[in-house]
Amino acid sequence: MTRSGAPQGLSIDPVPSVALSGVWKLYGAPRAVKTAKRVLSAGPDRECLQRDFGVFAALAGVDLTVRRRETLAVVGLSGSGKSTLVRHMNGLVAPTAGSVAVDGRDISRLSRSDLQALRATQVGMVFQSTSLFPDRTVIENVMFGLEVRGVPRRDRMATALTWLDRVELADWAHRYPHELSGGMQQRVGLARTLATDPEVLLLDEPFSALDPLIRANLQDEFASLVRTYRKTAVFITHDFDEAARIADRIAVMSDGGIVQIGTPRDIVFAPATPYVASFATRDIRLRFLQAADVAVPGTLDTGDTIAADMPLSELMQRASASERVMRVVDRDGRGLGVVDRAHLIASLDRLMTGKAHAAE
């Protein structure tokens, strides 16, 4: 982890990929929305807006910065505002108040054609149901986004084939969508969006319709494609485990606001509220535990040394192979404490009996 809280290897660009500032989205009768809009600068709560103006705030003054090349997961209960938030990032939904910037450019005032160009070139979106054209072949579907951009046919074919190859579907290029499984169709959807080389990828529950095994494979493929091609990705999911596995950061939404944003470890071990804590199951906490989390105060001059970020699974192997106390050190070799088999068992016992690390 860097000092700024960015995951390692993720450089922080001074101009963020997407930035939302004080974004409100009100739904209701146009006149009511117009009247309510006047009071938004005072930061009203959602109940007041509903009661006094008869409008519903799907987003309530959201500030969010998506860093360049990060993968950000958006989680939250149904109706918390995830889709509304993400659809602001490519102008599919316009804010009632506040601003949305992509690459430093305010998109809330773009014309319809400029917004279309933004979606075709800069901010691509993959939907839950892939919405492939049933009467076009797989390759024609992947070529579609390039056609919209006016790319010549020969180049379209070459790019589409390259992406089909990357998602391991080149052999299926001339088949029709109905001949493919759900997971394959989802990969075509991903290839179609990636073929347009957008800087930012928005994904609305991209893996939710898939069965568990295909889902895990596609999640891994997706994570590696996004890193290899240095994309910024924002994806919505109902599955916290999925968010924790593939996101650099997670934004947790509730009632039209972001309750907490941080690395998966931040969310799992330092949840800001009980609502945030409720997303991390015991299995996920166990998966995220590292040596530093189970170390207890103490010093040792000799003996085995283990890295602070050694995962629990590896630590268990070490502890089961040795009775000795081990010294836990950070990257600079500074001692953070000690750990042995008894400490490990006590820590796991705490977790298993529900006394989460975060709640201590």
Residues of the shown chain interacting with ligand ATP in the complex, contacts defined by CB under 6 A: 27, 56, 58, 76, 78-84
State the minimum distance, in angstroms, from the CB of residue 84 to ligand ATP.
3
Looking up tokens 């279309």 gives: 116
Residue among 58 and 244 whose Cβ is closer to ligand ATP? 58
d(CA 345, CA 305): 19
Of residues 143, 247, 138, 137, the one with CA closest to residue 193: 143
State the minimum distance, in angstroms, from the CB of residue 80 to ligand ATP.
4
State the minimum distance, in angstroms, from the CB of residue 71 to ligand ATP.
18
Residue among 25 and 156 whose Cβ is closer to ligand ATP? 25
Residue among 75 and 339 whose Cβ is closer to ligand ATP? 75
Residue among 81 and 91 whose Cβ is closer to ligand ATP? 81
Residue among 253 and 338 whose Cβ is closer to ligand ATP? 253
State the minimum distance, in angstroms, from the CB of residue 296 to ligand ATP.
41
Residue among 145 and 257 whose Cβ is closer to ligand ATP? 257
Residue among 57 and 246 whose Cβ is closer to ligand ATP? 57
State the minimum distance, in angstroms, from the CB of residue 140 to ligand ATP.
30
State the minimum distance, in angstroms, from the CB of residue 58 to ligand ATP.
3
State the minimum distance, in angstroms, from the CB of residue 239 to ligand ATP.
11
CA atoms within 13 A on the CB side of 260: 18
